[in-house]
Structure 1
Amino acid sequence: MTQVNLPVSVRALTAGDLPRCEWAGSSTHLDYVRRALVRAEHGEVAYLAVCPPSDLPVAIGGVDFAAKAGVGTVWQLVVHPALRSCGLGTHLVRACETAVTERGLPQAELSVEHGNVRAHRWYRRLGYVDVGERTEEWDVETADSATARHRTVCTVMRKDL
């Protein structure tokens, strides 16, 4: 196997990027992203894209500065399925953490579903610690393209920056 190393950059995700981000999730999820980009225009959110030289997003996610006072809430992280486990997610999380510190906040927080053991371990490796749990819910698209409410218990994790 030949290894190819490509430089990546991080920039703000734009509404114009969304048609090229269908890999990131269902149309329901992309609607959440679209709404987050509107909030980004008001400074409530930083929504980022990791891009190779083609400038096409291969990992996206954001920081919500309004979700909880005193912390930046990292959320909606997703890496292109064909490029997972290549370090792009770590690069994205680090960029989100930089956005938090640039905002003058001392901590980043995120939540991970209880059943997502792999992500939980990864966040621990990145320095996040469990600080509690909470029930979260959001709309999901069903197999027949309807919308249903997904409700789950998540572990809340935090990192001092």
Structure 2
Amino acid sequence: MLMDVITAHDSTDVTVVLPVGVRDLLPRDLPACTWSGSATHLRHVERELARAAVGEADYLAVCTPVDLPVAIGGIDYQVSEGAGTLWQLAVLPALRSRGLGTLLVRAAEQRIRNRGLPRAELAVEENNPRARALYERLGYAVYGRKPDAWDEEGPDGSIRRYETMCLLLGRDL
């Protein structure tokens, strides 16, 4: 398990340091991950955990000392030959810009290396400059673009199709 700390500051100049660790996401974690997406999204994550159980993917969680996930993300080994593809990376909104995304990506890259694969890839929506800046800071470079689409659950429980254009980024490990 990788360990790191997150530091938060508030307006009274109080600093809080919290150790975190990285481990596999487990089905029992899903109720604590509602911040990461809708019920439909969590059902999809649950299906991906089944793929992880048979080695097709990994799904990681950055957890607090009380073992609550505050960042999650997957690595798919079936998308691109010779690479692990990072996807569904998410950080608890209140803890963004605290290094958790960096920790999650670096842990995912280590998993990819452990499989003997030389490359990590991911897709980021063109309209998400904050995430793109993180990935580029971590050494990822754009090598293409592609449309993507998925079903999203609205607040009223309705399902709508979300379509977007993604940049494809990669990094040799």
Q: Distance in 2 between matches of 1:117 and 1:23?
A: 21
1:135-150 paired onto structure 2 within 5 Å: 135-150=147-162
Provide the residue aligned with 1:82 in structure 2: 94
Report the residue type matching 2:153 in the other structure.
Answer: E
Gaps of 5+ in 1: none
Larger strand proportion of the pair: 2
1:143 Cα shift? Answer: 3.3
Provide the residue aligned with 2:128 in structure 1: 116
1:67 Cα shift? Answer: 1.3
1:3 Cα shift? Answer: 1.1
Q: Distance in 1 between matches of 2:80 and 2:160?
A: 26
Secondary structure in 2 aligned to 1:19? helix
Instruction: Return the match for 2:145 from 118, 133, 149.
Output: 133
Give CA deviations for 1:124-156 in whole Å, capped at 9, x if unaligned: 001000000011111111232111111111000
2:71 paired with 1:59: yes
Give CA deviations for 1:24-60 in whole Å, capped at 9, x if unaligned: 1111111111111010011001000001111111100
Instruction: Return the match for 1:70 from 77, 82, 107.
Output: 82
Secondary structure in 2 aligned to 1:68? coil
Q: Distance in 1 between matches of 2:33 and 2:131?
A: 21
Secondary structure in 1 aligned to 2:69? coil
- RMSD, aligned α-carbons: 0.8
Q: Distance in 1 between matches of 2:108 and 2:151?
A: 24
Provide the residue aligned with 1:151 in structure 2: 163
Instruction: Return the match for 1:102 from 110, 114, 124.
Output: 114
How many residues of Structure 1 are paired with residues of Structure 2 in the alignment? 161
Work out the percentage of aligned pairs sharing the same amino acid: 54
Give CA deviations for 1:67-115 in whole Å, capped at 9, x if unaligned: 1111100000001111111111110000010111011110000000011
Q: Which moved more, 1:142-151 or 1:116-125?
A: 142-151
Instruction: Return the match for 1:47 from 35, 59, 76.
Output: 59
Q: Distance in 2 between matches of 1:136 and 1:30?
A: 19
Q: Distance in 2 between matches of 1:3 and 1:104?
A: 40
Secondary structure in 2 aligned to 1:132? strand
TM-score relative to the length of structure 1: 0.97
Q: Distance in 1 between matches of 2:79 and 2:51?
A: 12
TM-score relative to the length of structure 2: 0.91
Secondary structure in 2 aligned to 1:8? strand
Q: Distance in 1 between matches of 2:52 and 2:91?
A: 20
